[in-house]
Amino acid sequence: MRSTIMRILLPCVALAWGGSARAGSLSISIQETGYAATTFTTGSGGTINVPSGVLAGAPDFNFSGFNVASTLGAMQGALTGSGTIASLNQNPETLTILISDNGYTLPAGPNYTMASSSSYSFGFPNSTTDSFTFQSFANPGSVLFGMADPSPGRTYSPLVGFGSDHADEALTAFSSGTGYTLTESYAWNSNAANDTFQATGSTIVTAQMVPEPSSLVLVGLGLGSLGLIVSHCRRQRVL
């Protein structure tokens, strides 16, 4: 039976800002439609390496490595990962991978902005039958796989044969005074053999910039002065 290769490559976005490699109880849920999910969770580190081979939750896919990492820093929190998956069935199958970490306490809240982006490249001609959906989620508090605040999401269908595509989603605002959870969803609908699929995705959360009271006072004074100037000009025209 011929194999279909799916590579999910998330860029390691949390390198330059010196974040901690620990953000909470990092978990992965791997599920083929019609089967109970296989999950992996770590309570002591910010990375997970999925064992190679066929998992009970996805018997028609062979994992040759899937690695994820959660990073936490003073300026932003991020969720990343990478992996390679091969299809073992020529029939239509849907594989869904959820990645989640429920221990983000930085940056300081309560108002946040979530940025979500994804891209893919497709190497074989069955592009009109395959599709790929990526979406990010934020959730107030420590709710693993929580999806209270979703990004707009992006579905690529049909995929471009021997081509690629990229999307930066609109920013998503959310609030939480008790930390937050990040979750990513990857869904690949494979409907034919001999397809090579590479995908990337990233989720980054930063604190919303709220003007300080002194700044608001200065803005108010500026608007007041502008109003006086406009009023003076009008009187000059009347005279």
For residue 199, what are its two tokens?
């995908």
Any idea which of 133-142, 193-202, 223-232 has the lowest mean pLDDT?
223-232
Provide the residue ranges of all domains of the chain, joining segments of one domain with +: 4-208, 211-239
Let me know the angle formed at the C-alpha of 9 by 141 and 21, rounded to the nearest 5 degrees: 45
For range 70-93, the mean pLDDT: 86
The residues that bridge with 11 in the sheet, in sequence order, are: none
For residue 203, what are its two tokens?
């989720």
Residue percentage of the chain with pLDDT more than 90:
46
User: Is the distance from CB of 178 to CB of 201 less than 8 angstroms?
Assistant: no
Taking the CA atoms of residue 116, residue 157, residue 85 and residue 72 in that order, the dihedral angle to the nearest 10 degrees is 0
For range 88-105, the mean pLDDT: 90
Tell me the per-residue pLDDT of 40-80, one tens digit each, with 9 for 90 and over.
998 766 899 989 999 999 998 888 878 888 999 899 999 98
Omega into 51 within 30° of 0, i.e. cis? no
Q: How far apart are CA 26 and CA 82, in angstroms?
A: 15
Any idea which of 8-22, 144-158, 213-227 has the lowest mean pLDDT?
8-22
For residue 26, what are its two tokens?
């990092």
User: To which H or E segment does residue 200 belong?
Assistant: strand 196-207
- Residue (of 18, 12, 15, 42) closest to 28 by Cα position: 42
Any idea which of 3-7, 27-31, 181-185 has the lowest mean pLDDT?
3-7
Residue type, 140: P
Locate tokens 């109970």: which residue?
36
For range 124-137, the mean pLDDT: 83
Q: Say yes or no to pLDDT of 127 above 90.
A: no
By DSSP bridging, strand 4-9 and strand 196-207 are parallel
